[in-house]
Amino acid sequence: MRLAPSAEEADFAASLHGALHAAGAFSGPDSGAVYRPRAGELSGAVSGPDSGVLSAWGRLGALGVTGLAVPERFGGAGAPASALVVAAEELGHHAVPGPVAESLAAVPALLAGCGDERIAATWLPGLASGRLVATLTAPPWLPLAAHAETAGVLVWAGPDVVRVSGGRISPGSVVAEDSASASVVAEGPASAPVVAEGPALAPVVERALNLGALVCAAQLLGLGRAMLEASVEYARARQQFGGPIGRFQAVQHRLADVAVALEFARPLLYAGAAALDHPRDVLDAAELNPASDAAGLNPARDVSAAKVACAEAAHRAARAALQVHGAVGYTWEHGLRRWLAMTRVLTLSWGTASQHRARVMTELAKGCDERGT
Amino acid sequence: MNLELAPAAAAFRDEARDWLARNVPAEPLPGVDTPAGAAAHREWERRLSDAGLAAVSWPSEYGGRAAPPLHAVLFDEEYHGASAPIRIGQNGLFLLAPTLLAHGTSEQCARVLPPMARGATVWAQAWSEPEAGSDLAAIRSRAVRVAGGWSLSGQKTWSSRAAVADRAFGLFRSSAEPHRGLTYLMFDLRAAGVTVRPIRQLDGHAGFAEIFLDDVFVPDHDVIGAPGDGWRVAMSTAGHERGLTLRGPGRFTATASRLVRLWLAEGSDTALRDRVADSWIAARAYRMAAYLSLDRAIPPSATKIFWSETDIALHETALEVLGARAEADADWTAGYLFALAGSIYAGTNEIQRGILAQRGLGLPRDMGTG
């Protein structure tokens, strides 16, 4: 029993934070000196094929992040979900752009689990090293492939089918520019070659999508943490009415509520990882005690709970951050917009709150049915 | 990130579950704040104590079994899952005992804790005063030095369980300095000079009371910590009152389970589905936070805000599911009225937000709080 990250995972998160901070480009809004995007980063994001993602991926590859979910025989670390969420929280903390949950979690899980060694060997080493970026379409959570302009491999996943298409955006797909997050979304390659299908694939797809949603939740928690840190720093520094605005209760209580939301989203994130890594663990023998919780760990239910809570906490942090920063936070020049935009995009991606709440209730109903209550 | 219980923890969980299944009264005990109910709840505490379940994390010599903190969380979950009676001893068990174990002498622990664990001594808390609620440091009730001890005079209020308790603990002013002039004392509610007047609450029960003190003698050995050091002693363990020690996750886990079953049985209204889901998710978050807190500290003020708001949300959602029939549902209505007190007692949620903002986040101190 240990829900907290291991010492090794905590060290990994700290070193990742340090490296991303030192790299500057993705430093959190807590580091005022490197708050703003570097010159050129933004224009590249809007006009070119690389919105800073490919260079980011190279850096993440060197840090051992892109290979976390890739099996060791394909050049990765074969790490558990717990390591992924710890890393993804730091990527969110620094608002690292790109299809993080797709390329670092879900696609590696799909390609490694699809049963086609040739497909796995074709794509996984590149994903592990960070040379290659993947994106994913998986309706209804992911009706569009995010950051398709940077992806070297596009995957389409249905409940029991996986299609893979190499190269850039496939012909016939609809391309739209999502200006706020400076990414390109595209309809996925629904007509791309099928690499695996059948009922045996269903648990692989389900696990991969759960892993992706959980990594997305971890990014949101990190984004929320960064925005709270930035808001506290700004509220301590900004002087009005003869003192810092952070002395006012209206500001203090709003930021305290953000802290509470983040504090209690985190345990659900970790429980989601525990559910994916140890799905057979059972905390409650429900049959002995029908009054207690319906069941032990349930990946679908627990990942959905984490996504709802982390998205809500990040949303609360985003709204508070913009309000506390006032007009300066509303400018393009100020870096806060990157955290705001990424929060908005990720909150609606990988399943909306409504979709995940529905799944929680579906799973809870199953638990009650199984108990005959 | 692994929630698997080690064999010893699982064995303890099973032992507690089995004992509770065999011993929890089939019919609810009479109300805890009535004389008959208090007697029945004391007897229940004695049975828990005989089974070694009254205070599992305490040292063995004081009536516990020196179990790790995880076991206390597991016991709390089993206790609420079994719908066991309210703990009449909770002020002593969850608030005074941690203070004594941290700041008391071994003589005090040996004298106070065993009868507390057996339900032989029931404790009330005596913090608030008519002019010292949220501004607790404004306490006026006095402790005056006399031969061999102290003389207490003044008025305490909102003293939970005082109507049926034997003794009380709280802060008294021993000198004029706002914080450093306070002394932490235990006193006898049956002593000469003490008058207890029950106060009827919003829910109809006399759960708290006023305590009037007129030259009440307290011996030196009932001072906890040094005279004048009471504020520091009280605040060092205030987290127990606000946090997971006072409100383990069991109450909310059990309530969330009931809410889900209620919605599944009644729930044709899909509009309420999201609220039920959010309420369940919050209770689950609190439960997982209890496990996480074993290895990673969570600020007590954040904990207090979260459990109190979760409790209200769970009950308000249930009432909405029941609709107009809720008024005829005594359990959910009583639970709701109890939950409504949670954002007020143990330091209002506004006070907690101030503490969290200033001490947790490092925002500047406002003149009005802290």
**C-beta atoms surrounding B227 within 10 Å:** 18
Residue B258 CA: distances (Å) to CA of B23, B31, B262, B295, B307 = 22, 22, 6, 29, 17
> What does the mean pLDDT of chain B come to?
93
Mean pLDDT to the nearest integer, B344-365: 95
Instruction: Provide the pLDDT for residue B247.
Output: 82
Q: Tell if the CB–CB gap between A1 and B353 is shorter than 8 Å.
A: no
Phi-psi group of B236: left, alpha or beta (phi > 0 → left; psi -120 to 50 → alpha; rest → beta): alpha
Q: Tell if the CB–CB gap between A294 and B305 is shorter than 8 Å.
A: no
Q: Tell if the CB–CB gap between B305 and A256 is shorter than 8 Å.
A: yes
> What does the mean pLDDT of chain A come to?
85
Using CA atoms, how far apart are residues A220 and A344, in angstroms rounded to an integer? 9
* Of residues A243, A253, A270, nearest to B357 (C-beta): A253
Mean pLDDT to the nearest integer, A31-59: 49
DSSP three-state, residue A293: coil
Q: Is the dihedral of CA A331, A336, A337, A340 positive or negative?
A: negative
DSSP three-state, residue A107: helix
* Of residues B253, B260, B306, nearest to A260 (C-beta): B306
> Which chain B residue shows the shortest CA-CA distance from A289?
B81
> Which chain A residue shows the shortest CA-CA distance from B21?
A289
Which one is catalytic: B45, B77, B210, B241? B241
Instruction: Provide the pLDDT for residue A178.
Output: 59
Give the pLDDT confidence of B9-60 residue by residue, as tens digits: 999 999 999 999 999 999 999 999 999 999 999 999 999 999 999 999 999 9
Q: Is B241 a catalytic residue?
A: yes
Taking contacts as CB-CB distances below 8 angstroms, the residues of chain A near B263 are: 361
Q: Model confidence at A285, in pLDDT bands (50, 70, 90)?
A: very low
Instruction: Provide the pLDDT for residue A369.
Output: 58
Mutate which: A283, A303, A324, vs B, most B CBs within 10 A: A283
Give the pLDDT confidence of A344-355 residue by residue, as tens digits: 999 999 999 999
Using CA atoms, how far apart are residues B353 and A154, in angstroms rounded to an integer? 47
How many contacts does A have with B, using Cβ atoms within 8 A? Answer: 199
Minimal C-alpha gap between B187 and chain A (Å) = 37
Mean pLDDT to the nearest integer, B303-313: 96
Q: Is the pLDDT of residue B69 over 70?
A: yes
Q: Is the pLDDT of residue A78 over 80?
A: yes
Instruction: Provide the pLDDT for residue A126.
Output: 96
Least confident of B26-40, B168-182, B184-198, B234-248: B234-248
* Of residues B6, B285, B354, nearest to A267 (C-beta): B285
Minimal C-alpha gap between B197 and chain A (Å) = 36
Q: Model confidence at A373, in pLDDT bands (50, 70, 90)?
A: very low
Cα Rg of chain B, angstroms: 21
Q: Tell if the CB–CB gap between A249 and B277 is shorter than 8 Å.
A: no
* Of residues A3, A228, A289, nearest to B1 (C-beta): A3
Instruction: Provide the pLDDT for residue A183.
Output: 65
Minimal C-alpha gap between B264 and chain A (Å) = 7
Using CA atoms, how far apart are residues B55 and B101, in angstroms rounded to an integer? 13
Least confident of A81-90, A93-102, A290-299, B135-144: A290-299
> Which chain B residue shows the shortest CA-CA distance from A307?
B281
Q: Is the dihedral of CA B242, B248, B251, B253 positive or negative?
A: positive
Mutate which: A360, A369, A371, A373, vs B, most B CBs within 10 A: A360
Q: Is the pLDDT of residue A111 over 60?
A: yes
Give the pLDDT confidence of A145-198 residue by residue, as tens digits: 888 888 899 999 999 999 998 876 655 566 766 555 556 777 776 778 899 999
Retrieve residue A346's tokens.
Answer: 């990720």
Q: Tell if the CB–CB gap between A251 and B289 is shorter than 8 Å.
A: no
Instruction: Provide the pLDDT for residue A27.
Output: 45
Retrieve residue A302's tokens.
Answer: 């627990």
Q: Is the pLDDT of residue B83 over 80?
A: yes
Q: Tell if the CB–CB gap between B294 and A243 is shorter than 8 Å.
A: no
Q: What ipTM was assigned to the predicted interfaces of this complex? A: 0.94
Instruction: Provide the pLDDT for residue B155.
Output: 98
Minimal C-alpha gap between B112 and chain A (Å) = 33
Instruction: Provide the pLDDT for residue B180.
Output: 85
Q: A64 near A77, Cβ under 8 Å?
A: yes
Instruction: Provide the pLDDT for residue B248.
Output: 87
Q: Tell if the CB–CB gap between A2 and B2 is shorter than 8 Å.
A: yes
Mutate which: A248, A249, A282, A293, vs B, most B CBs within 10 A: A293
Q: Tell if the CB–CB gap between B358 and A252 is shorter than 8 Å.
A: yes
